Amino acid sequence: MSQGKLIVISGPAGTGKGTVVAALRERKEYALSISATTRAPRGTEADGVNYFFKTTEEFEKMIENKEFLEYANFVGNYYGTPKQYVLDRLAEGKNVILEIEVQGALQVKENYPEALLIFLLPPSKEELENRLRGRATDSEETIIKRLARADEELALQDKYDYKVVNDTVERAVEEIEGIIEKA
Ligand code: 5GP
């Protein structure tokens, strides 16, 4: 059986990665890796569904045990991709999607050069800010930190294999499907 493809989708928080990934998964089968994080659950998020929620101590133990494919610190919290799940699905020939931030994505590329790195861009800076502010669950302080981080992330977009503008979800999804099929 041939190996599945490892697809990394990044882009500043608020770009609509989650919506685009959900739309991709409605149309075709992809394994979605569930990340571990030390940030607190937001709204209706549940452990093992949106994330595996960990204490800093637990997360650091996982780092020590080399359980991560990649991990990064994002606005004061750890986020990481558990390695075994991803390697198992790829070995089964399944395509796997990672929805992760930029530092982690670049680590994946280093370790798995065949990974497809897709940077999802917001249609505009204003739209990004509107979307981040629309998340009533985040404090003003968090929003400001995330906006600053968005600029840092946008500066790294040229390191990606592909850039896709999330102007409409339908169009972005079709473009991404085209990229995955050709790869
Ligand atoms: P949020 O707190 O909004 O759920 O996620 C913050 C950022 O962390 C987003 O850009 C999200 O894509 C990224 N992220 C989620 N899981 C992982 C992961 O496992 N590794 C890395 N490097 N980033 C992640």
Looking at ligand 1, which residue's alpha carbon is closest to its atom 21? 100
Mean per-residue pLDDT, 143-165: 93
Looking at ligand 1, which residue's alpha carbon is closest to its atom 22? 104
* Architecture in CATH for domain 6-182: 3-Layer(aba) Sandwich (3.40)
Cα 148 to its chain centre, rounded Å, is: 18
Mean per-residue pLDDT, 3-12: 96
Site to substitute for ligand 1 among 34, 37, 128, most atoms within 8 A of C-beta = 37
The whole-number pLDDT of residue 14 equals 84
Site to substitute for ligand 1 among 63, 78, 101, 119, most atoms within 8 A of C-beta = 101
CA distances from 59 to 27, 73, 95 (A): 33, 11, 26
Q: Give me the chain's average pLDDT, please.
A: 94
Which tens digit of pLDDT belongs to each residue from 38-82? 999 999 999 999 999 999 999 999 999 999 999 999 999 999 999
The whole-number pLDDT of residue 108 equals 97
pLDDT band, very low/low/confident/very high, at 157 (cuts 50, 70, 90): very high
Atom of ligand 1 nearest to the CA of 104: 22
pLDDT band, very low/low/confident/very high, at 153 (cuts 50, 70, 90): very high
**Domain ranges for the chain:** 6-182
Which one, of 79, 19, 18, 14, lies nearest residue 52 by Cα?
79
Does pLDDT of 7 surpass 90?
A: yes
